[in-house]
Structure 1
Amino acid sequence: MAAEPDVEKRDSDDQDPRSDDSDFTEERFTRLHHQKTHEDEESHPHLDAHQTQSWVAHPKNPFREFGFVAVLSMSQLMTQAGLAQVIVPLHIIGDSFGSQSPGQLSWFPAAYSLTVGTFILPAGRLGDLYGHKKLFVAGFLWWAVWSLIAGFAVYSGPILFDICRAFQGIGPALCLPNAVAILGRSYKPGVRKSMMFSAFGATAPTGFTIGAVFASILAEFSWWPWAFWINAIVCVLLAVLGMVLIPKTPPPHLDDSETTLNRIDALGGVLGVSGLVLFNFAWNQAPVVGWQNPYTYILLIVGILLLGLFGYVELHVSKFPLVPIRDMSPEAGFILACVALGWAGFGIWVYYTWQFIEVLRGVSPLLTSAMFSPTTVSGLCAAITTGFIIHRVPGSLVMGSALLAFTVGLILMVTAPVGQIYWAQTFVSMIVMPWGMDMSFPAANLLLSNKMAREHQGVSASLVNTVINYSISLSLGIAGTVEGQINGGGNDVLKGYRGAWVERLSTSKLLPREIGVEHDVD
């Protein structure tokens, strides 16, 4: 019985004082707002008063709330659709540019994931300071512009297309952390918040499947640039819906004692972004030009040095660090490490599974998209399950289960014979892999969101999404290097694919020595 008042109070706190209350006045809302701000200052005495942020009043009408969560979740769906729209018609796009080099083709998805993962960090900070809604809407508009230009790159060449893909990735980098931050500020910890984050995470495999289907239909029956032009139209519509459906997300009240450059941690941002870009560029460019090219390893070394300087600045120099390393617990570091390893495996799995089915099994892009469709249903089940169990089991158990799913999904594909039917290992892998995605993503966001202060919700979302997208891009570069080293100059495609899947493991120890395509087909 003693627990009932606490439950009642928690339910009351979660109510929006402006909803369905005829006695509500602006004076009352202002009083409640200052009360919440005072509670934040007491909970986080090291923060200045002007740094705290209020909760965002999520819509109470169920239909409007559905639209609110749906438009935020579309940022995740569209991000994965943007990855699929080049992986699916990869060889068709390559043919239009007169290139089938594996290193060149891998840049089409890698350039996009590189900027998504790299620019999320400063995007989350800008949202914290100037309003998450503004950055969310601006992200979709930017995304639309570069999607439009990427389609017209068909008249130029692969270099311009890679550049467009990189600039296109800045759009989801602006949208993702600010969408998650809005959710984090709209719902207090509990089952409701868990389900909202799970719904957001469930759109990842759904987005990839939808992007794959539309890209394959347009590439096979029309023209692949239409996938990018339609993407631009959808982004504009989502920007408009965001302006209508998302409530105002007020930034903190900033005084004039600090410069804008200090508040956004300009030095840390430049060092961090530059280091991440150079480090990743070296790994993804090496399969194209080779590690013997001096600029490849020079850029890698410079990237490592810049990242070291970034860490020093964040710890000892920056007053408002872009990544609050000093305030992060070992548990937070463990969560991010799990996410990095798991999603790196996902990036390799999805890219090479698609190539395995299309190139070695000779399946059309549209039929391959249909083969990937079970990931949507499986991902939804995983997200709902995670939403129910995340507050009932230790976070380490959820993360461990997610990593197990990632591992099993990879093993099923790396050992699948080319001539095997789809319903054996490939189908099972499609069912298992989404559990890694949709258990790790909502769990990581929920755990970090609940552990970080309200004014750092953008940083929390940025860290998770940075790790996810950057690890996908980096893993493709590493896998491409492995593939190029062991595929016998392109004469043993299957061995190259399997080498990319297992990466550091020796294929001669895990797989039969008769690893050629002809043996497996027979």
Structure 2
Amino acid sequence: MPTLTSSGAPARNPAPAPPALTGRTRLVLFVLCAAQFMVALDFSVLNVALPVLGADLGLDRAALQWAVTAFALPSGGFLLLFGRVGDLYGRKRLFLAGLSLFGAASLLATFAWDPASFLTARALQGLGAAAIVPTGMSLLTTTFPEGPLRDRALGISGTLLSLGFTVGMVLGGVMTDTLGWRSTMGLLALFSAIVLPLAPRLLPESRTPERPRLDVPGAVTVTLGLLSLIYALSTAAERGFGGADVLVTLVAGVLLLGLFVRVESRAAAPLVSLPMLRRPTVAFGNLGGLVTFSMMSTVVFVLTLYLQDTLGLSAFATGLVFGVQGVMSVIAGTLAPKLIGRIGARRVLVGSLAGQGLLTAALLGLGRESGAVLATVAVSLASMCHLGAIIAYGLTATSGVPDEKQGLATGLVTTTQQVGLTVGIPLLGVLATTGGDLYGGVRTVLVLDAAILLGAAALVGLGLRRR
């Protein structure tokens, strides 16, 4: 029965306060976000150290790309498999195993004595990351119910993910100059040592109530397909697409992924539910994520070349440009969940993709002799849009998915993230380095990058509107 005021009119009940994070859930969020930040840091902290690392370990210029590829291959190739294994046998259990492996591998990389030991450590780091990322995301989405709490948690996670990549670029240069390249790997081992003791007590165990058999044919085809595709694209970034190994693995990757789709359509307990992929939110949400990750990583790559090789900026000054980008990402991480609460994740995703595209197009104003200020402003604002797209695509692609299938949904989300970070530079970035004119190559990449973003914004908008 409604309460009456002194005038006899019904009193308006105050709006319920939004749910708040408790002390324990804050600690859970800290553990999960710290692990995600650590993996994001690993993507970039070593980049500026590669020349010094190569001279120290005896890796020639052609072999240096394997310091990155050795991590990217297992981290992208095993994501879907590990996401499903976590669903079936325990997400917390696999998360802890991945965290332990990542920490041990980082320690091995810190004290690597030759190229073989270092590249082995990088591959083991990638394997640990493949377990951490999908299980961490599943634990986050099952711990925080759909609504304001999940929006806030994913906003914090997305901010730290983007910030980790940017901080790694700045921190890697500073640490390499002052402490040596080994300190970058030691930092990752230290992160693991801080997070690992907290995780067993704080994280809840989570898995599907039923125990179907693991889809082995699907696991084999998708893992080998992703490994082949990532290898081909990563190798092409260094040597172009003309090599026999690149062409063979590229074709093999496409064929294996096609076979994977066929296997999944007939499997009793598929690794990826094709009906789930037919959900517009899952399909178009992940498309948006793939485009925003791949196009932003490409812009960062070509701007690094432009600022240092065309304008002659130092590595430290270039790091400051991307440091501003990191600050803007943090601001965007606090604003995006509020905007999503007002207008919805799908509208934010479309608007963010379009904004990132327009700001990338603004970079075409960069000159041969000046452009550092424009680069700083445009890439920082584009990064805000990028962060909004990251949070919105994660929410869009996991919304409405039941808890027992969150591992599948978040496995797709994190696979999109890892593949996006891997494919952008080989597909577009290589255009900036293969021609004789770096400035002209950078402009070509920016035109294509902006066009892809704007096209994806239109496609995602139409696809989600049909829902």
1:7-18 equivalence runs, <5 A: none
- How far the C-alpha of 1:292 sits from its partner, in A, is 3.4
Deviations 1:7-44 (A, max 9, x none): x9xx99x99xxxxxxxxxxxxxxxxxxxxxxxxxxxxx
Q: Distance in 2 between matches of 1:270 and 1:406?
A: 36
- How far the C-alpha of 1:134 sits from its partner, in A, is 1.4
Q: Distance in 1 between matches of 2:428 and 2:76?
A: 18
2:8 counterpart of 1:63: no
Unpaired segments ≥5 residues, structure 1: 3-7, 16-59, 507-522
Q: Distance in 1 between matches of 2:310 and 2:407?
A: 43
2:99 counterpart of 1:179: no
Change (3 A) 1:97 1:478: farther
Contact 1:408 1:429 in 2 (8 A): no
Q: Distance in 1 between matches of 2:348 and 2:449?
A: 26
Alignment-mate amino acid for residue 251 of structure 1:
R
Aligned to 2:177, which of 212, 220, 224?
220
- How far the C-alpha of 1:454 sits from its partner, in A, is 0.8
1:392-411 equivalence runs, <5 A: 392-411=342-361
Change (3 A) 1:275 1:419: same
Secondary structure at the aligned position of 2:160 is classed as helix
Q: Distance in 1 between matches of 2:139 and 2:449?
A: 40
Change (3 A) 1:220 1:311: same
Deviations 1:357-387 (A, max 9, x none): 3344343433333322222332222222221
- How far the C-alpha of 1:112 sits from its partner, in A, is 2.9
The Cα RMSD (Å) is: 3.0
Q: Distance in 1 between matches of 2:352 and 2:21?
A: 34
1:156 matched to which residue of 2? 114
Contact 1:116 1:470 in 2 (8 A): no
Q: Distance in 2 between matches of 1:186 and 1:380?
A: 23
Alignment-mate amino acid for residue 404 of structure 1:
A
Unpaired segments ≥5 residues, structure 2: 3-12, 452-467
Change (3 A) 1:245 1:359: farther
Contact 2:69 2:231 in 1 (8 A): no
Secondary structure at the aligned position of 1:469 is classed as helix
Contact 2:353 2:385 in 1 (8 A): yes
- How far the C-alpha of 1:497 sits from its partner, in A, is 3.9
Q: TM-score, normalised by structure 1?
A: 0.76
Q: TM-score, normalised by structure 2?
A: 0.84
Moved more, 273-282 or 431-440: 431-440
- How far the C-alpha of 1:61 sits from its partner, in A, is 7.7
Aligned to 2:389, which of 427, 435, 440?
440
2:106 matched to which residue of 1? 147
- How far the C-alpha of 1:220 sits from its partner, in A, is 0.7
Change (3 A) 1:252 1:104: same
Secondary structure at the aligned position of 1:390 is classed as helix
Change (3 A) 1:163 1:346: farther
Moved more, 390-399 or 119-128: 390-399
Q: Distance in 2 between matches of 1:171 and 1:143?
A: 5
- How far the C-alpha of 1:196 sits from its partner, in A, is 1.2
Q: Distance in 1 between matches of 2:425 and 2:63?
A: 12
2:313 counterpart of 1:363: yes
- How far the C-alpha of 1:98 sits from its partner, in A, is 6.1
2:440 matched to which residue of 1? 495
Change (3 A) 1:496 1:163: farther
- How far the C-alpha of 1:203 sits from its partner, in A, is 0.5
Alignment-mate amino acid for residue 284 of structure 1:
S
2:162 matched to which residue of 1? 205
Secondary structure at the aligned position of 1:373 is classed as helix
Change (3 A) 1:114 1:351: farther
- How far the C-alpha of 1:279 sits from its partner, in A, is 1.7
Secondary structure at the aligned position of 1:192 is classed as helix
Aligned to 2:86, which of 116, 120, 127?
127
Q: Distance in 2 between matches of 1:170 and 1:80?
A: 14
Deviations 1:413-445 (A, max 9, x none): 4542253253x2112123213223321222222
Q: Distance in 1 between matches of 2:382 and 2:73?
A: 22
Q: Distance in 1 between matches of 2:359 and 2:53?
A: 28
Contact 2:84 2:408 in 1 (8 A): yes
Change (3 A) 1:73 1:125: same
- How far the C-alpha of 1:99 sits from its partner, in A, is 6.3
Q: Distance in 1 between matches of 2:175 and 2:27?
A: 28
1:457 matched to which residue of 2? 406
Contact 1:409 1:430 in 2 (8 A): yes
Change (3 A) 1:337 1:391: same
Percent of aligned pairs sharing the same letter: 24
1:332 matched to which residue of 2? 282
